[in-house]
Amino acid sequence: MGDFVLNYPLISVCLPMKKIIFLRAFAATSSLLSAALAFAADPLLSLTPDHDTGIYKPGEPVTWTVDIKSGDRAGLTALPYRVSKDGGKAEAASGTIDLSAGPAKITASREDPGALRAEIKLPDPAKSLPIGVGGAVVSPEKIGPVCPAPADFDAFWKTKLDELAKVASNPQVEKIGTEGLRNAEGVDLYRVTLDNIRGTHARGLLARPAQGEKFPALLVVNFAGVYPLDKNMITSEAKEGWLALNINAHDLPPDESEAFYKDQKENALKNYIYFGNDDRDQSYFVRMFLGCVRGAEYLASRPDWNGKVLVVTGVSQGGLQSFATAALYPKITAVVTGVPAGADVYGATANPPHAVAWPYWLNNWGPRDRDPEKVKQTAGYFDTIYFAARIRCPALVGVGLLDNAACPWGVIAAYNAIPQPKELIVMPLADHHGSGGSQNAYFQEALKWKQALLKGQPLPIPPPKF
Nearest in space to 115 (alpha carbons), one of 316, 343, 314? 343
Distances (CA, A) of 376 to 139, 370, 389: 28, 10, 20
pLDDT above 60: residue 24: no
DSSP letter for 356, please. P
Question: Is the pLDDT confidence value at 67 over 50?
Answer: yes
Q: Does residue 431 surpass a pLDDT of 90?
A: yes
In DSSP terms, 91 is beta-bridged to: 84
The answer to whether the CB of 341 falls within 8 A of the CB of 406 is yes
Give 2-23 pLDDT, tens digit per residue.
322 222 222 233 333 333 333 3
State pLDDT tens for residues 122-143.
998 888 889 999 999 999 999 9
> If you ran DSSP here, which 8-state letter would residue 404 be given?
S
This prediction has a pTM of 0.91
Domain ranges in the chain with CATH number 3.40.50.1820: 148-455
Q: Region 425-439: what's the mean pLDDT?
A: 96
Superfamily name and number for 45-142: Immunoglobulins (2.60.40.10)
Rg of the Cα atoms in the chain: 22
- Given a cut of 50, whether residue 340 has pLDDT beyond it is yes
Specify the DSSP element, H or E, that contains 161. Answer: helix 153-165
Burial label, 21 (beta-carbon count in 10 A; 0-12, 13-18, 19+): middle
Helix axes 153-165, 317-328, angle to 10 degrees: 80
Which runs of consecutive H residues, i.e. helices, occur in 208-269?
231-240, 258-266
Its CATH class, for the domain covering 148-455, is alpha beta
Specify the domain boundaries for CATH 2.60.40.10 within the chain.
45-142
**Residue 263: per-residue pLDDT:** 98
User: What are the tens digits of pLDDT across the range 250-277?
Assistant: 999 999 999 999 999 999 999 999 999 9
8 A C-beta contact, residue 28 and residue 405: yes
The Cα-based distances of 127 to 18, 95, 99, 122 in angstroms read: 43, 17, 18, 7
* pLDDT digit string, tens, across residues 434-454: 999 999 999 999 999 999 999
Structural contact between residues 380 and 153, judged by C-beta atoms closer than 8 angstroms: yes
DSSP string, 274-328: GTTTT-TTT-HHHHHHHHHHHHHHHHHHSTTEEEEEEEEEEETHHHHHHHHHHHH
Is residue 268 a contact partner of residue 258, using CB atoms and an 8 Å limit?
no
Instruction: Output the CA torsion sign for 300, 305, 306, 312.
Output: negative
Region of 289 (left: φ > 0; alpha: ψ -120 to 50; beta: rest) is alpha
> How far apart are alpha carbons 188 and 370 in whole angstroms?
46
What is d(CA 438, CA 443) in angstroms, rounded to the nearest whole number?
10
